[in-house]
Amino acid sequence: MQSSPLAPASVTAEDEQALSRVFSAYTLTGTLWLLFGTAVGLLVAFKFGAPDFWAEKYLTFGRLRPIHTNSVFYGFATLMLIGAAYHVVARSCGTRLYSAKLAWLGLWLFNIAAVAGTVALSLGYNYGDLEYREWPWPIRLIFIAAVAVTGWNLLATMLHRASRDLYLSNWYIGAGVLWGSIIAIVAIIPIYQHGLGMMAISGYYMHNAVGMWFTPLALGLFYYAIPKVLNRPIYSYSLGVLAFWTNLMFYPLLGGHHFLFSPLPWWLQTAAVICSVAMIVPVFAGSANYLLTMRGRYHGRIESYPLAFLFIGVLCYLFGSTQGTLEALRSLQDLWHFTNFTVGHSHLTMYGFVTFAAWGAVYALLPLSTGKNPGRFGMATHFWLALVGMGMYVIALSIGGSVQGWDWIQHAPFIKSVTDMKTYYLWRGIGGMLMFVSHIVFAWNVWRMTFGKSGDAPSPIMEPEAESTP
């Protein structure tokens, strides 16, 4: 693909416009879900310091928390990643989107599911507090239908590609939608989910939803957006291939580590630990590939905010996953399991990695699709507020989580671990506030890239190498 993708001979101006409208609509609704989901996240964070604030039935902590996680997962992250994926797949295959109608149908289904899910959770219809699959099953069926429609559309687009080779991004995105469908279907079938069986499926689901759905989509966007912005090819195709297959071999088993020391079969837990360590292979192969693609252009990171977002995304993929490997070791599980350290990990990965990847892809690709740019100042504000906010969030909870775990090992009265966390909850809240403000700025930037007045940021594509290397 690189700087000059195959001349898209069969792609008409209308096709371009249709794709651009799809990309814009997914990004816009995804952004609305980001605003809603993180406003709820902020409220939830606030409640740690003010438990009696808005403690009414429909706003109680235990109903808002799953609304936060589900709306950022299936409203925000899913819609943002898929919107950009449509663009990436069509462009990298040098062809038109297979069906704009199907893309719009998918958008409606995703949004209906997320709205219905939010209402259901607030009314107290929660499927057993099983993380990330709390929506009642009919709503999850709508979500499955949305993933299926999307998968069909994306794969059909790839089938009509102009090139013979299938670019790496499409491996991740194409496989990702199929993996996502399998995950969602396995999670919804009730017959093998009784007692311990349900616990096993929960362990499987929690980490496969993040690792085999969000991760491949985000990595697929990296493989396209990073070379695009840098105006140079990916460092190594074969490293990418290695990362793809090893990721598939090792990631699925990670889930068991949620239930280390539980009565789940010992072999399942041990396999989970081994695979968590083995994940070093795909994670390092993938991250090295992205970072080496950026080699020599590091000073350019600050000039180009799209690249800065992508760079942070890659770093957090590396750090977050390495942190995950540590967390999975039995001795460290003793300390960190059940503590806020895990919540820190969740945000380092889902926020630092997935969310920054989605933002980077939107800043890199949406202007190319709509011809409109955000403002430079807007992008800078978004970047620094989000980065500093996330840093505070993750550092506070990593320290706090360790203190909490230590209190428990000491068999201190439980309430000590609660009072010890007060300061860290406060810092998390301040970080969360910065993050939330950055999302408002992001929404403004998206508006300028779609329907508003174009801003003053330069084209996301950087100058070719020769001119910028001294």
Binding site for ligand HEM (CB under 6 A): 38, 41-42, 44-45, 65, 68-69, 72, 77, 131, 206-207, 210-211, 214-215, 254, 257-258, 276, 279, 283, 320-321, 324-325, 327-328, 333, 336-337, 340, 342-343, 345-347, 349-351, 353-355, 432, 435-436
DSSP secondary structure code for residue 166 in this structure? P
As a whole number of angstroms, the distance between CA 19 and CA 90 comes to 8
Q: What is the DSSP string of 394-415?
A: HHHHHHHHHHHHHHHHTT--HH
Q: Does 65 bind other proteins (CB under 8 A)?
A: yes
Q: Which of residues 164-193 bind other proteins (CB under 8 A)?
A: 164-166, 170-171, 174-175, 178-179, 182-183, 186, 191-193
Q: Which of residues 243-302 bind other proteins (CB under 8 A)?
A: 244-245, 248-249, 252-253, 255-256, 258-265, 268, 271
Query: Which segment (23-31, 120-128, 389-397, 460-468) binds other proteins by CB under 8 A?
Result: 120-128
Please, what is the minimum distance in Å from the beta carbon of residue 374 to other proteins? 34
Q: Does 238 bind other proteins (CB under 8 A)?
A: no
Q: Is 193 helix (H, G, I), strand (E, B) or coil?
A: coil
Cα dist. 305→76, 358, 374, 458 in Å? 21, 13, 11, 10
Q: What single-letter amino acid sits at 242?
A: L
CB burial class (10 A; 0-12, 13-18, 19+) of residue 394? buried
Orientation of helix 340-347 relative to helix 305-328, angle to 10°: 150
Instruction: Please tell me the number of Cα atoms within 13 Å of 401 on its side-chain side.
Output: 23
DSSP secondary structure code for residue 469 in this structure? -
For other proteins, which is the closer residue by CB, 312 or 407?
407
* C-alpha radius of gyration, the chain, whole number: 22
Q: Which of 119, 159, 277, 292 binds other proteins (CB under 8 A)?
A: 159
Please, what is the minimum distance in Å from the beta carbon of residue 35 to other proteins? 22
For other proteins, which is the closer residue by CB, 57 or 453?
57
Please, what is the minimum distance in Å from the beta carbon of residue 401 to other proteins? 10
Q: Which of 30, 37, 66, 282 binds other proteins (CB under 8 A)?
A: 66
128 binds, among ligand HEM, other proteins, none (CB under 5 to 8 A by kind): other proteins
As a whole number of angstroms, the distance between CA 22 and CA 24 comes to 5
Please, what is the minimum distance in Å from the beta carbon of residue 322 to other proteins? 21
Please, what is the minimum distance in Å from the beta carbon of residue 166 to other proteins? 5
Q: Does 198 bind other proteins (CB under 8 A)?
A: yes
257 binds, among other proteins, ligand HEM, none (CB under 5 to 8 A by kind): ligand HEM
Instruction: Please tell me the number of Cα atoms within 13 Å of 245 on its side-chain side.
Output: 5
What is the three-state SS of 75-116? HHHHHHHHHHHHHHHHHHCCCCCCCHHHHHHHHHHHHHHHHH
As a whole number of angstroms, the distance between CA 253 and CA 270 comes to 10
For other proteins, which is the closer residue by CB, 32 or 182?
182
- Give the ranges where 294-353 is alpha helix by DSSP (H): 300-303, 305-328, 330-336, 340-347
Q: Does 338 bind other proteins (CB under 8 A)?
A: yes
347 binds, among other proteins, ligand HEM, none (CB under 5 to 8 A by kind): ligand HEM
Q: Does 206 bind other proteins (CB under 8 A)?
A: yes
199 binds, among other proteins, ligand HEM, none (CB under 5 to 8 A by kind): other proteins
Query: Which segment (9-17, 162-170, 362-370, 392-400) binds other proteins by CB under 8 A?
Result: 162-170
175 binds, among other proteins, ligand HEM, none (CB under 5 to 8 A by kind): other proteins
As a whole number of angstroms, the distance between CA 256 and CA 107 comes to 33
Cα dist. 180→18, 68, 214 in Å? 26, 20, 9
Cα dist. 236→205, 288, 292, 382, 465 in Å? 32, 10, 9, 31, 18
45 binds, among ligand HEM, other proteins, none (CB under 5 to 8 A by kind): ligand HEM
Name the residue number minimizing CB distance to ligand HEM.
324
For ligand HEM, which is the closer residue by CB, 37 or 151?
37
254 binds, among other proteins, ligand HEM, none (CB under 5 to 8 A by kind): ligand HEM
